[in-house]
Chains A and B, each alone.
Chain A
Amino acid sequence: MATRRGLLLSPRARNVLLGVYLLFTLLPIVWLFLSTIQTQASLLTMPVQFVPREVTLSNYTDIFKPAAFGENSGQSTFLLSLRNSLIVTISTTLIAMFLGTLAAYAFARFNIPQKRTLLLIVLGSQLLPAVSIIIPLFRMFKSASLLDTLASLALAYTTFSVPFVVWIMAGYFQSIPIELEEAARIDGASRFQTFVRVALPLAAPGLGATAIFTMLNVWDEFFFALIFTSTYVSKTVPIALAEFIGRHSVNWGMLVTGGFIASLPPILLSLVFYRYIVSGLAAGGVKG
């Protein structure tokens, strides 16, 4: 087999490249992690120490104390922003999955006039940047008194999450053999029962992967949140981090620890569901 000698790389070239790849990919992450487990004094040592001097886990507890990361009516802004992010992520994902799955099934199994064109419009709309629509959305939320609420964020996030769910799930439903649904019909199930009792369970892996991708995108979103939120009633984690870095004297230990903790849920989810990620990427599923 050719594979023993390598498809395109000699074993030597492969090992060199593997080294380069691993250094490029992992060194910044390792540095991030090392920075989270040091005292502020150790972080601000000159010259820079490549190996931590004073190791501590206190950053991981301090960040949840009110004073350490910026305080808001006696509570840690980091904790408040985590709560806001969690609420908006879960609610947006539920809304997007509900609206998107219904529409996706209709696209996959019914004779919709202009089906292809409509699907392409849906795909295109999820690739539009936030700046295309943010000024009118701001006006809309302002007149509806929705500014600085989690509801405004959830609504704004449907602009990219709903089209994404429609696009991915329409493909997924089409890839499921139609015969089981036909059998259910012959047994007397209505079309809607067929959808709920047969098609939805069969699509469970696709639904799960799509929901996870949607959560990753919402958790990461920055621009809408920057414009629509103004207090910790609705500020999300990315906003809290960006604000903290803008302070005059930055507490680097808190900042890198905040970034690391906030990234743990998406990293862990993505590691577990690695094999589902590519299909989401191909649809432009990540807001760059």
Chain B
Amino acid sequence: MAQSPLTLKPSPSPPRERGLGGRKGELSERALGLFMLAPMAIVLLLVIAYPLADSFWLSLHRMNLTRPEQGTPFIGLENYLFAFRQPAFWYSIERTLYFTLVSVALELALGLLFAVLLNEMFRGNLLARLAMIFPWALLTVANGVLWAWILNPSYGVLNALLMWIGVLQEPKQWLSDTFWTMNVIILADAWKTVPNMTLLLLAGMQPISHDLFEAAEVDGASHWQKFTRITLPLLRPVILVSVALRTIGAFRVFDIIYVLTGNGGPADSTKVISFYNYDQAFRFLYFGYGAAISWLITAFMLILIVIYVRLLRTEVVQ
């Protein structure tokens, strides 16, 4: 997090006292600054701020693209209330929470383990770190393709391996089972996102002074005590920020579920909230209702984002 702008004091010194100040005939400091900001601001207002506002407007209206003769009557909060009455909506929330909790927990556990490993000094350490790049940089959709192939009931290597070592007696239909589909998708997703977590945690571990570990050893501390009394407390800010970031990432999962199931099945067991939203808006063309769902997602994400930004500011800056 070394290059986060928040780690630096705003504006090193008042410009008038130092060399970069304005001169006669030049644009004023503030004018030039705003001039440089304007292109970005205009684009982001157009593609982010306006759509957010339009989405809110839509969410208060009935708009069904398959029945344009109905127009777009104002219906107040009816779309939101309708969502709250839908068992399918709540089920998708439950599925999203399950995915998010299990995958972030898995990522944190494996990420910590691998970061501890890669923070040790041994020959080939850099090569071992580079191995992470393969899953990390693999195209998300290609990751879906790869796991669809690994999980294939007839020709997939997972069934072959598990039968070879005797765990399974007969091939398993991983992607047709309401329990296993979500869990193997979590595995497939975690395989690609663990490096993300590992790299963040590793970056947080590196500045921890080796002297601390040596001093602890002199005092007779075990490896486990060193981990729980030195590494974990000093790593706390980085863990919090990484978990917040990965929660934000996991909460919007869509691509891999689309590739592995096509429809959020079986029996909607992998229909997370973004998939539910996609269905309503772009398969059934309920734009008003879809906009309401997307605003609910946005509101929840904004809470997560505010938590993340606050953690970044209070925990990492010091």
A and B interact: yes
Interface of chain B residues 212 through 250 with chain A (CB within 8 A): 213-214, 217, 223, 226-227, 231, 241, 245-246, 248-250
The answer to whether A106 touches B134 (Cβ under 8 A) is no
Is A107 close to B, CB under 8 A? Answer: yes
Question: CA A26 – CA B305 in complex, angstroms?
Answer: 33
The answer to whether A132 touches B142 (Cβ under 8 A) is no
Is A67 close to B, CB under 8 A? Answer: no
The answer to whether B36 touches A168 (Cβ under 8 A) is no
The answer to whether B196 touches A129 (Cβ under 8 A) is no
- Say which residue of A99, A122, A127, A260 sits within 8 Å of B308 (CB atoms): A127
Is B287 close to A, CB under 8 A? Answer: yes
Contact residues of B: prevailing secondary structure: helix
| Binary flags per residue of B137-165, CB closer than 8 Å to A gives 1, else 0 | 11111111111111010111101100100
- Say which residue of B18, B141, B154, B202 sits within 8 Å of A259 (CB atoms): B141
The answer to whether A278 touches B297 (Cβ under 8 A) is no
- Given A6-B120, A47-B160, A279-B2, A106 and B259 contact (CB-CB distance below 8 Å): no
- Say which residue of A8, A124, A162, A237 sits within 8 Å of B223 (CB atoms): A8
Residue of A1, A241, A246 with most chain B CB atoms under a 10 A cut-off: A241
| Binary flags per residue of A108-137, CB closer than 8 Å to B gives 1, else 0 | 111111011001101111011111111111
- Given A135-B287, A255-B145, A112 and B48 contact (CB-CB distance below 8 Å): no
- Say which residue of A8, A35, A100 sits within 8 Å of B226 (CB atoms): A8
Q: How far is the CB of A37 from chain B (nearest CB, A)?
A: 14
The answer to whether A288 touches B298 (Cβ under 8 A) is no
| Binary flags per residue of A128-149, CB closer than 8 Å to B gives 1, else 0 | 1111111111111000000000
Question: CA A122 – CA B19 in complex, angstroms?
Answer: 29
Interface bracket on B: 35 or more
Is B68 close to A, CB under 8 A? Answer: no
The answer to whether A43 touches B155 (Cβ under 8 A) is yes
Is A94 close to B, CB under 8 A? Answer: no
- Say which residue of A7, A124, A133, A206 sits within 8 Å of B305 (CB atoms): A124
Q: How far is the CB of B195 from chain A (nearest CB, A)?
A: 7
Question: CA A133 – CA B19 in complex, angstroms?
Answer: 43
The answer to whether A245 touches B47 (Cβ under 8 A) is no
Is A216 close to B, CB under 8 A? Answer: yes
Residue contacts A-B, CB under 8 angstroms, 15 given = A25-B135, A26-B131, A29-B138, A46-B154, A98-B39, A112-B33, A113-B30, A128-B305, A131-B252, A140-B51, A171-B4, A175-B3, A216-B137, A238-B141, A263-B139
